[in-house]
Structure 1
Amino acid sequence: MQSEIKSCAFTGHRQIKKEHISLINERLGAAIEYAYSQGCKRFLSGGAVGFDTAAAREVLRFKLAHPDVSLIMLLPCVEQDRLWSDRQKDAYEYILSNSDEVRYISDSYDNICMRRRNQALAEECDIMIAYLSHSISGAGQTVRMAQKLGKSVFNLYHDIESRLKNSI
């Protein structure tokens, strides 16, 4: 692993297992704290519903105590939230309005904007924090892209699964 981590990207599934919800923020907080202790000040999120927005919210919480941290939203297209519920849109708007930077890969949705967003996340990070239970997904694609570029990927899904099994 690199001696100093400058940027960390998040990728994960839109659906978080019900039994994982109680641990997801705790594990995200610990992962963000670790990345920060290694020099990371830039956190990147693709802004999708589920893990991406949970990670972005956790970075915003972390920023309250660490104002030197920045949250960069790398979004596939302007209307990413077009089909979301009002509650999801409100949470998304809160994240965007409190982010340090918002970048759109495309002005409108097209066949490749999601893939290009995933590639941008993989290219711009030093490490990646994932929530990945299966690899046939956009999150799986993003993790493969990061690994192909030699980036370290930490999968919180397996960490949470083992914590739940050990608590039984």
Structure 2
Amino acid sequence: MRSHTCCFTGHRQLPPGKQAEIAGQLERVITGLYQRGILYYGAGGALGFDCLAAQTVLRLRESCPGMKLILVLPCLTQTQSWRPEDIAEYERIKAQADKVVYTAQQYTKGCMHKRNRHLVDNSSVCVCYLNRESGGTAYTVNYAKKNGLEIINLAP
């Protein structure tokens, strides 16, 4: 299954006014991966790029038989400090996902890294939006590189 799986990782804050452009890039990349036999798409459920990637998979799934969205979430309380409109979108995505996996019940210091490693460990491709050398996205992309995943970075 790993050879047929792609994971997403990216920044929570995307450049202002660029979401539609990034969504278009995601659509083209995911369509190309699907045509290569990648059927499973893992997203971590975070705000920003994760959410945009999940929305794109849900949209494409209608015309791509067998395409599945797998949410790998760090804990049950991930949305605790989120705005109500972001929580509503998160719940909408979660309700439409083909599978939801929690890597921990409660928030712990390492639960985000555990989620990120789970995504990478079960994928052969990592589609990312990375434009900084530090932080969780950089950690995850470096971990993916060390594990031999194909990296597709949508950031300029």
Query: TM-score normalized by structure 1?
Result: 0.90
**1:17 partnered with 2:35:** no
Counterpart for residue 84 of structure 1: 82
Please, which runs of 5 or more residues in structure 1 have no aligned partner?
159-168
Counterpart for residue 93 of structure 2: 95
CA distance in 2, matches of 1:135, 1:98: 33
Once the two structures are TM-superposed, the CA of residue 19 in structure 1 deviates from its matched residue by 3.8
CA distance in 2, matches of 1:139, 1:82: 21
CA distance in 2, matches of 1:22, 1:43: 20
RMSD, aligned α-carbons:
1.2
**1:50 partnered with 2:48:** yes
Report runs of 4+ in structure 1 exceeding 4 Å deviation: none
**Residue in structure 2 matching 1:73, options 61, 71, 86:** 71
**Aligned residues of 1:9 and 1:128 also touching (Cα < 8 A):** yes
Counterpart for residue 36 of structure 1: 34
Once the two structures are TM-superposed, the CA of residue 5 in structure 1 deviates from its matched residue by 4.6
Total equivalences in the alignment: 155
Instruction: Give secondary structure in 2 for the equivalent of 1:77.
Output: coil
**Aligned residues of 1:11 and 1:46 also touching (Cα < 8 A):** yes
Give the letter for the 2:46 counterpart. Answer: A
Offset from partner CA, 1:91-126 (integer Å, 9 cap, x none): 000000000000000000001100101111111111
Query: TM-score normalized by structure 2?
Result: 0.96
**Aligned residues of 1:5 and 1:38 also touching (Cα < 8 A):** no
Please, which runs of 5 or more residues in structure 2 have no aligned partner?
none
- 1:143-158 aligned within 5 A: 143-158=141-156
CA distance in 2, matches of 1:87, 1:36: 31
Give the letter for the 1:28 counterpart. Answer: L
Once the two structures are TM-superposed, the CA of residue 67 in structure 1 deviates from its matched residue by 3.4
CA distance in 2, matches of 1:17, 1:42: 27
More helix by share: 1
Q: Whose Rg is larger?
A: 1
Once the two structures are TM-superposed, the CA of residue 137 in structure 1 deviates from its matched residue by 1.1
- 1:100-111 aligned within 5 A: 100-111=98-109
